[in-house]
Amino acid sequence: ETAYHRHIANWERGNLYLGAEFGAFIFNNKESGDTPQPSTGQPIKGDLDARVWYAGPSIKFMMGEGRFKYFLGAGGGYYRLDLTESDEIPRPTCTNLGLLPCFETKRSLNRSAMGGYASLGVDLAAFHTESGWEWRLRLEDKIHLINFGSLDRFSLGAGHLSGPINVIQVGVVAGF
């Protein structure tokens, strides 16, 4: 995730920041085999990958003094889903010079939706530079609320894909 937030208000209990975020999360099922699809009982053969990215405005309320700061956040915007089922191609027929595995896409689906999230987290101040930059370690739990709608075009009887989707993030934050 990449984000930019600007301080907009200082209140007795904390500071309010307004900004924007761009993030992504990936769910990879690398279990090749005959995993049955829960809704239809039909097997999923090969790899099933779901990639989601999102972008939009966000707000954070930071509390605490010293090394530890706690925050609540929320945001919303545009979400994009790419769902793919693929099989790895064996080496003799793969022609990419052996650098990466080759895959054959069996089916794919792209969906867009508007959505949002709520989050809570903690920042731990790691160190300050002489130029005024502060580096912090961040642990954040985000709950994304999205409804991508029906997946029947991907697999008949697959149902709907909607949130909540819980994503736990660990990262580094830098700023003044």
Q: How many helices (H) and strands (E) does the chain have?
A: 0, 11
Identify the pLDDT of residue 156: 75
3-state secondary structure of 5: strand
The residue that leads in pLDDT, 44 or 11, is: 11
Residue 56 banded pLDDT, cuts 50, 70, 90: very high
Q: Mean pLDDT, to the nearest integer, of 24-43?
A: 64
DSSP 97-150: TTSS-EEEEEEEEEEEEEEEEEEEEEEEEEEE-TTS-EEEEEEEEEEEE-EEEE
Q: Name the more confident of 145 and 132.
A: 145
pLDDT at 95: 57
Query: Span 63-86, mean pLDDT?
Result: 91
> Other CB atoms closer than 10 Å to residue 53's CB: what's the count?
15
Per the prediction, the chain carries an average pLDDT of 83
Predicted local confidence at residue 49, as pLDDT: 81
Separation of CA 142 from chain center: 9
pLDDT band at 45 (very low <50, low <70, confident <90, very high): low
pLDDT at residue 111 tops 70: yes
The C-alpha angle with vertex 76 and arms to 73 and 79, in degrees rounded to 5, equals: 130
Lowest mean pLDDT among 84-93, 105-114, 163-172: 84-93
> Within its chain, how far is the Cα of 12 from the centroid?
33
The fraction of the chain above a pLDDT of 90, given in percent, is 47
- pLDDT confidence band for 50 (50 / 70 / 90): confident
Q: Residue 106: which pLDDT band, with cuts at 50, 70 and 90?
A: confident
Is the pTM higher than 0.85? The answer reads: no
Q: How many residues does the chain have?
A: 176
